[in-house]
Structure 1
């Protein structure tokens, strides 16, 4: 009976018709009619939106107030929206004093963008409620205080102070596209609005296509495969702002703006950077982001803008498990209850080559294994973390990024941004320059040669450029075979010193057990086992074994909490040297907690590892002659009868019979006159 009375009330109110010719930015007639039909049978989300609209903080509930008024037509919601407009428009300026005090003054930043959006949504939703004089007055205020300052600082050639090179990241998106939303809102009162709208739509193409620059070390904003270099969190914010403009443009102009092919790939990036598990979705948190970032807004807006894909449906469903996006105004308005696939239908390994990110996973099942690697740009929100990695396993985030904190905290620059807050190798305590935060990196890191051959995956990173002040060679190879991930560091410096391998584990527990470091959280654990240049001390006193690696705890700070200290691990080489190799095994226990057998191998100009898992044996050979020490002669070598010039070779056998061959940077592989690989130039390949 209560639901019946609620529905009768809803349709008795009926909703006020908008002025003929006025099309709502977001809550169009079609959207409202669809919603009315839906909430006849499902009132839970609607009641949540009503609760927000009935709350006291109207400025934080403009979207909810607008939707409720458009659906019910109840005057009390129109009055609250009008009060929001009056409050905003009474403010003399919409930007902060801090930005206005700069020289030249920054008239339009994120505060102005936020106020422009709120005022525009409120104005649009009560357009029919206002009389002609009020419409004109509010439209004039939105134009003077929101749209024109943004256009003046960011778009117009005769006044502009910003460029894509200096501010072409998430700020550009918010400041420009919220001005576009404002122009769409006031288009019927402002004669110049249509010109501004089209100018902003056209400028968006330059933003998406910005390739960076050489002169001032600025990175390309978007990876050509859909990634965004700053972080997952800032990708979400930047794309939300653009997609809000695009959706409003499409609703009002009755056609989509310029085609942006990158949008077809953007949802795939958000999915690739996600880790499904039995709890709330986790995310890759390189840079200024958070593993708990579950921003559903850009994914919903991609779907609302017509970018329907299995990955977008899957991701929105995953996010909805914990975030209940349908209980927000935009979530309720644009959630079409699309059936979601079990998996996103994406590859198990993906390389974003332009920005230097890679995600490798065992599968898309819940609680699978996800290894994420970064060796790319450093600037702004992208940290000094070339060749760093993180690991999710059995539903937990075990090997972690050092995190971040708000930028006004001194520890942001002194700790969180810097190399020691990441899983990298230091030399005499140094890796990337501390200046990279502000000036960017002249020669960024790169990732190369991603291979996914089922239970064998591979990618390698080159951090030599960003660490060139200290390193001549700084390569890190990730070779994932079954339940073992080998991290192989090939290092050379200009003078003898101490190499230090860092391991961050966040709030997971890490302790040494024999020659392993056991990292555990909840029911999940992995083993980290250093193999070269030496192992950890296996019992006894470390000072009795000066040839062994030295393990110690270092003091860092908790992610997003600079007031709480958090330790991480340092593994130092026992001797000072100019050149070394670290080989470290990350061991993933199987469901029965059974561990693979791992043995070190050493030979003439070779180090390696033998891994036995069930009936399969994989022998890994690292050819020391191929590490750059010989340049005019080929790195010809022989191991166990195998002849090759390859840098890395893996022979996998089952019951004594070779069945798979992996070659990294090799031109031939042969044994007993049987030629497995023959290429005049060196290749990275899995055979057969």
Structure 2
């Protein structure tokens, strides 16, 4: 026991020394910083935004909507310190939204009503007992909120207010991040690192002239350690945590880089991290024609405006990256929805004068990225709202925020999401009922949560068992041939206790229909293999091997081509536990096959939009014959 304690003590000491060594790497040297405002937008740079809003009605509408939201905020009470479970995060996020909006409004109009309301919000959060360092994301976002407000409203704040706010930034934001019990995120490779480093850097920039040594330490630390999560984008930009967490981690990573670049005139090589700039193409392709996201892992379904995409488009000089974003700013009803986004003003900061009405269409209808959670994203058109869209993924359950969904896919046609994913369940709804949610072990209660295991994803279940947490499925072949876009994954690592071979291919054939083919081989025991697809449609079985799916007056035919003798069936999606979220309007459709020991088997399923019913004229070929 003493040896164990000694080992732990040495380990903690080495980690602390490692952190100190990182903080001592001096990237910024004796660089001087400009006067306030200095975060993201220097004094006088408002004029460029005014030119943009004056030249483009859509940007003008966004600007007006932000001012309108600020007018609404003026009559509201400031955020209160009300913690929900272990989190203060919703309050931190609301504070950031309010202060970013109000500070933007004052800088653009110099109307003192926005200054006074912003000052009121700043003093309220500065008076909180703390910003909840036990869940440090809360501190990070609150520090960013206070820092933007302090920096952007600085010239209008009283000396007394300045003192209270900068003291709070230091004592409730930065100083807790220097305590080893609060800063484990420095070693994380996920969104926590990106968000927390960004928040702390904003605090350091805001109070730089008062605490230059601490500020330099925090900024240098961020430059060093944010490279850990940025390493997750390599080689191609596929973000392991999926759509919603791209919107979180990557957005704050961009907030960090943009602030450094504005302050020091350089990003210290951060944008040269492999895969980081190409992640913009990943994000653009993650939304289907319906506007819904490929919502694997802990992700929401609804597509959202991503202000960071405007930074990427400007950085890469590629306005086509904004094709998906355009809809959120050119549709008045969509623009109003975006007012929930706490980073929304950044879209105007990074707009670069782009004309939203004349964006070029993306050149490729196929995108694939390797990495921890590889994906392939394909569609038949960018401009046709009725186009076919397919997203397919590999990966494995051990990745941050992952589900047991390796091999899963989503599919759209005729404006309908036929094959869907439940996505995430609200964390507090599970944590409040003592679910062991963040334990990723094979026997963890996490995998009993209905939405998280493979039983309700569009993948395979073998012998009614969970996928193997330690397994990982790479994408093994791809083709962007317009007549046969495809991606193939090797899933055997997820089922290696029962199968010796498990390859899945998903393809769009002749721009008309979708094929899902599985090629399996059992070990020296027979196996029961279940094929399932989750759908929000009405399902009618019209024969042993065929089903008709209908929704919104549209129809899709699901046809099992192999094996020849199979019985399609449906399963309910009623939640089995009191902690599971309800799943109204959804159905599982699929089939089971018995595969003898040491036997090869093939499963081929066609997903055929009604208008393409006569386009299927041939058997599905073996995967090795698919174009590469």
Shift of 1:485: 3.1
Counterpart in the other structure of 1:92: 129
**Which of 235, 243, 248 is matched with 1:237 structurally?**
248
Q: Within 5 Å, which residues of 2 pair with 1:47-446?
A: 47-54=64-71, 55=73, 56=76, 59=95, 60-95=97-132, 99=134, 109-132=136-159, 134-153=161-180, 160-162=183-185, 164=187, 167-192=188-213, 193-209=215-231, 221-261=232-272, 262-277=275-290, 281-303=291-313, 306-322=315-331, 323-324=334-335, 328-339=344-355, 340-366=358-384, 367-379=386-398, 380-408=400-428, 409=430, 410=435, 413=447, 414-433=449-468, 436=469, 441=470, 443-446=471-474
**Which of 560, 573, 587 is matched with 1:555 structurally?**
573
Number of aligned residues = 538
Aligned mates of 1:567, 1:35 — CA distance in 2: 48
Aligned mates of 2:595, 2:184 — CA distance in 1: 53
Aligned mates of 1:370, 1:40 — CA distance in 2: 37
Tell me the alpha carbon deviations over residues 441-485 of structure 1, each in whole angstroms, 9 at most, x when there is no partner: 2x3111111122220233211111122233222221234432343
Q: Which stretches in structure 2 are left out of the alignment for 5+ residues?
A: 1-32, 79-94, 436-444
**Closer, same or farther: CA 178–498 of 1 in aligned 2, 3 Å:** same
Instruction: Indicate conservation of the 8 Å contact 2:397/2:403, yes or no.
Output: yes
Tell me the alpha carbon deviations over residues 303-362 of structure 1, each in whole angstroms, 9 at most, x when there is no partner: 46x343134232321343453288753334443451343422235242435422111222
Larger Rg: 1
- What TM-score, normalized to structure 2? 0.78
Runs of 4+ in 1 over 6 A off after TM superposition: none
- What TM-score, normalized to structure 1? 0.72
Tell me the alpha carbon deviations over residues 571-596 of structure 1, each in whole angstroms, 9 at most, x when there is no partner: 112676663524323243474x5423
Tell me the alpha carbon deviations over residues 13-36 of structure 1, each in whole angstroms, 9 at most, x when there is no partner: xxxxxx983333134334312334
**Closer, same or farther: CA 587–35 of 1 in aligned 2, 3 Å:** closer
Aligned mates of 1:123, 1:163 — CA distance in 2: 26
**Closer, same or farther: CA 395–503 of 1 in aligned 2, 3 Å:** same
Q: Secondary structure at the match of 2:493?
A: coil
Shift of 1:49: 1.9
CA RMSD of aligned residues (A): 3.0
Instruction: Indicate conservation of the 8 Å contact 2:365/2:382, yes or no.
Output: no
Aligned mates of 1:314, 1:84 — CA distance in 2: 36
Tell me the alpha carbon deviations over residues 384-409 of structure 1, each in whole angstroms, 9 at most, x when there is no partner: 11111111112221111233211342
**Closer, same or farther: CA 119–163 of 1 in aligned 2, 3 Å:** closer
Shift of 1:567: 2.6
Structure with bigger RCO (C-alpha 8 Å, 6+ apart): 2
Aligned mates of 2:377, 2:254 — CA distance in 1: 25
Instruction: Indicate conservation of the 8 Å contact 2:131/2:172, yes or no.
Output: yes
Aligned mates of 1:577, 1:312 — CA distance in 2: 50
**Closer, same or farther: CA 308–57 of 1 in aligned 2, 3 Å:** farther
**Closer, same or farther: CA 132–370 of 1 in aligned 2, 3 Å:** same
More off after superposition, 139-148 vs 34-43: 34-43
**Closer, same or farther: CA 57–232 of 1 in aligned 2, 3 Å:** farther
Q: Secondary structure at the match of 1:92?
A: coil
Q: Secondary structure at the match of 1:317?
A: helix
Shift of 1:275: 1.6
Counterpart in the other structure of 1:496: 526
Tell me the alpha carbon deviations over residues 368-426 of structure 1, each in whole angstroms, 9 at most, x when there is no partner: 11121111132331111111111111222111123321134259642111011211122
Counterpart in the other structure of 1:542: none
**Closer, same or farther: CA 252–162 of 1 in aligned 2, 3 Å:** closer
Counterpart in the other structure of 1:511: 540
Tell me the alpha carbon deviations over residues 233-267 of structure 1, each in whole angstroms, 9 at most, x when there is no partner: 10110011111122222222233342423332121
- Higher relative strand content: 1
Instruction: Indicate conservation of the 8 Å contact 2:122/2:165, yes or no.
Output: yes
